[in-house]
Amino acid sequence: MTAVSDSAPSQGDQPDGPALERALKTVPRGAMALSGAAVLLLLAAWLAIYLFVFLPRGPVG
Amino acid sequence: MAMDERTILRNELRWAAGVGAMVGVIFVAILFSSLALHRAPPSNIETVDPQTLHLAGEFTEANLGTHVTPDGQVTTRIVAAQFAFVPQCVVVPQGKPVTLRLSSPDVIHGILITGTNVNTMVVPGYVSQVRTVFAETGDLLMPCHEFCGLGHSEMTAHVMVVPQSSFRPDANGTASCASR
Amino acid sequence: MLAARRLVLAHLWTAFVVFAAAAVLGAWQMWVRSPLAAPFSTPDNYYLSVTAHGAAMAYVLTTFFIMGFGYYVAETALERTLPSMRWAWLGFALAIFGTAMTVLTVLSGRASVLYTFYPPLTASPFFYVGLVLVVVGSWIWCVLMILAMAQWKRANPGRPVPLAMFATVSNAVMWLWTTAGVAVELLFIVIPASLGLTETVDVGLTRTLFSWTLHAIVYFWLIPAYIAFYTMAPQAAGGRLYSDSMGRLSFILFLVYSLPVGLHHLFMDPEHSTGFKFVQMSLTVLVTVPTLLTVFTITASMEIAGRMRGGTGLFGWIGALPWRRPMVLATGLAFFMLWFGGGGGLVNMSYGMNAMVHNTSWVTAHFHLIFGGTVVMMYFAIAYEIWPRLTGRATQAPQLQCAQLWLWAIGMMVMTVPWHWLGLEGQWRRVAHFDYADPAIASWGPWVDVSVAGGAILLASALLFIWNLARFHADQAAKLTPVPPQRYAVAVHPPDHVPAALNGFALWNVVVLVLMAVAYGFPLAQFFIEAPPQAIVHHVDRAG
């Protein structure tokens, strides 16, 4: 755990050493999960609008 | 280092592949709807002189509104001008292909018809053409949706979609809101 | 202390003061559109306000912020003074003189043509000349940014340009390409018409030239926010940037794909064929990629920081992040709004689907959320981050800064979510007065009231932002705390060498040229090959 205050803008953190090594063992599993979920949800929302709003409103062209 | 550059790159490429698949799905769905389901941006390029629009040709007053040809083609012609549509009300049949044709003698206008995918800009110098089929009956709102000046907010028209049994053009093929 | 300190502050204060005034107008406009009776509510006043609000937010807030922030990055990332302070001040002088000219003309009622100013509606020539001067001032900035990077490269052969500056210059190069469209439109067509030198105008040509600028300009606005994502957020969170190279690639993809896509603003126009609309739609699909790449890279960077702070599990690192730091909070809120704003953009880009939403409140919701939300949120965060170094005073009340950011995000969501819904219901744009007595639209009233509340929250946030910045200047006690120099995020693997293609723009300019020729070549040439009938110029600045 760093000792730097939570609310002060970070200037004193030293992003090096054992903490970084440990973190890099798991990264980017969390990012894949979060970004992946967000993007899949986005695709689902787009498909929902496509199928349930756009297509039923009839032809255009 | 626990994670070397190649691993980072591999993860980024894996993510990029996923992203590519996702936009690929969207792209295919768009392609399908535009080619197979007739849902595409209206793009019929046809010019007309805005300065003589009302004097001669297709958009003179007698031709405006809904007309049906002897072989059953329904065409609705509307002029968009500051700050009203002419005619302000048109009638169209439910469930049959309708072709809307619009133009402007002055500035840029635009229309949408609520509850449908009908949407087009109306640009002076061009005839805008939209083809659609109205699935539901009703009195639909057709506002001017592009800023055309101080009276823009008041510029609206109505589209009355009636069952085919109620859609009775006269001997000339003309159908209007009053006489339907 | 920063040599360009006063230059940067001049630009940023101009941007933010104009922003605050425009926010007041925006809140009033929300009120006028609603069922609630608003004061001074006439079409004249409304469209004057919409023009002022749009021009201020789209042209003044943005250009001045980007120029000021660019000068800041150039000096701090490259650790050298600017190539020329004199030219920089000249650029500022031109831009502020042009801004005054345009704003005063709008306020006089002679330019209520909105910030898109589509002919044949034509305003007083001073409206356009003012905008041209702003653009010319910004071109000086572009040249200075390019020169700064070139000089640094000569002094540091073989070394990678610091990412923050590489991105800034990618934005400068893109801006030069972007402004070509509107510059040609204004200089050769619209200004002559406004002066009465011509009486008719080719409407399709002007719309197409403006579309050249209209999409890429939003990426001009967006790049500084992404600079903060890549080079400030990971640092603020206490972690590392996951990949420096992906950052460079993303900025290059923005440069290449922001420009040849403007026709997607003209999907519903009758002067272009399906063929070219389809080509530009396909290119628009490609411009979603750098954003989607960024989402992952920045999330991974934040994950590093969260795990270093002790977060565990698949999502536990999220809670472990230092959310009380404004830059971190802003990044989270910006990404949240990006889901909605970007999603709305995906709908807009989807060819036939555009017919469902074009010129409805959905579009208004989209750009307020993606620009007003995600991008401006990061402008606030950047300001809070660099103000200590601009004023020589340490941050005093980060809680107030965070409160202001929360208010902005909440206000933006409350304002724009109803607009998305109303857009699908058919509510159209740029309306000074809705007849809520009409049964067809009566149901819209309550939703519009909700978005009025959102607008009020935004106004409060905008004023709090100004207050938070002003405090720095006034706060005598804060002078005693030393302010450390600007530090940019460090990558997990800081590169000692990158390929030339990721360190400069020679290749990419050629790619842009080719893509623009393919995407815009015929769509523009067609107006000369067979000139369509012209429309009569409609002067809004003349009586009768």
Instruction: Name the active-site residue from C368, C389, C420, C471.
Output: C368
Q: Could you tell me the pLDDT band of residue C234, with boundaries at 50, 70 and 90?
A: very high
Active site residue C367: yes
Active site residue C264: no
| H or E element in which residue B112 lies | strand B109-112
Measured CA to CA, the distance from residue C121 to residue A12 in angstroms comes to: 56
Backbone angles phi, psi at B171, to 5 degrees: -60, -30
Q: Could you tell me the pLDDT band of residue C366, with boundaries at 50, 70 and 90?
A: very high
Residues C160-194 pLDDT 10s? 999 999 999 999 999 999 999 999 999 999 999 99
Active site residue C429: yes
* Dihedral class, residue B138 (left if φ above 0, else alpha if ψ from -120 to 50, else beta): left
pLDDT of B158 above 70: yes
Residues B92-147 pLDDT 10s? 999 999 999 999 999 999 999 999 999 999 999 999 999 999 999 999 999 999 99
Measured CA to CA, the distance from residue B72 to residue B82 in angstroms comes to: 32
Residue of C nearest to A57 (CA): C356
Active site residue C368: yes
Rg, chain B, Cα only: 22
Residues B60-102 pLDDT 10s? 999 999 999 999 999 999 999 999 999 999 999 999 999 999 9
Measured CA to CA, the distance from residue B101 to residue C270 in angstroms comes to: 11
Neighbours of B166 (CB within 10 A): 12
Q: Does B152 touch chain C (CB under 8 A)?
A: yes
**ipTM of the complex model:** 0.96
Active site residue C433: no
Q: Does A47 touch chain B (CB under 8 A)?
A: yes
| H or E element in which residue C90 lies | helix C85-107
Q: Does A36 touch chain B (CB under 8 A)?
A: yes
More confident of the two residues C510 and C1: C510
Instruction: Report the neighbours of C using a cutoff of 3 or more CB pairs below 8 angstroms.
Output: A, B
The answer to whether C105 touches C113, Cβ cutoff 8 Å, is no
Q: Which of A9, A45, A50 is opposite residue C343, by nearest beta carbon? A: A45
Q: Does C35 touch chain A (CB under 8 A)?
A: no
Chain B to chain C, count of Cβ pairs less than 8 Å apart?
Answer: 197
Residues C5-41 pLDDT 10s? 999 999 999 999 999 999 999 999 999 999 999 999 9
| pLDDT score at A9 | 40
Q: Could you tell me the pLDDT band of residue A17, with boundaries at 50, 70 and 90?
A: confident
* Beta carbons of B40 and A60 less than 8 Å apart: yes
Kindly list the distances between the CA atom of residue C278 and the CA atoms of B34, C211, C512, C523, in Å, as whole numbers in the listed order.
Answer: 10, 15, 18, 12
* Beta carbons of C493 and B152 less than 8 Å apart: no
The answer to whether A6 touches C305, Cβ cutoff 8 Å, is no
Residue of B nearest to C495 (CA): B5
Nearest C-alpha of chain C: how many angstroms from A52? 12
Torsion of CA C483, C14, C70, C470, to 10 degrees: 20
* Beta carbons of C310 and A33 less than 8 Å apart: no
| H or E element in which residue B97 lies | strand B97-103
Nearest C-alpha of chain A: how many angstroms from B8? 9
| pLDDT score at C217 | 98
Token pair belonging to C16 = 């933010």
Q: Spell out which residues of chain C touch residue B43, defining contact as CB-CB under 8 Å.
A: 270, 272-274, 277
* Prior bond of C418 cis (ω within 30°): no
Instruction: Name the active-site residue from C226, C367, C434, C488.
Output: C367
* Beta carbons of A61 and B26 less than 8 Å apart: no
pTM: 0.96
* Beta carbons of B3 and C47 less than 8 Å apart: no
Burial (CB count <10 Å: 0-12, 13-18, 19+), residue C476: exposed
Q: Does C352 touch chain A (CB under 8 A)?
A: yes
Q: Which of C308, C327, C352 is opposite residue A20, by nearest beta carbon? A: C308
Burial (CB count <10 Å: 0-12, 13-18, 19+), residue C434: buried
* Beta carbons of C268 and B148 less than 8 Å apart: no
Measured CA to CA, the distance from residue C380 to residue C394 in angstroms comes to: 16
Residues C441-469 pLDDT 10s? 999 999 999 999 999 999 999 999 999 99
- Strand partners for C539: C122
* Beta carbons of B132 and A25 less than 8 Å apart: no
Instruction: Report the neighbours of A using a cutoff of 3 or more CB pairs below 8 angstroms.
Output: B, C
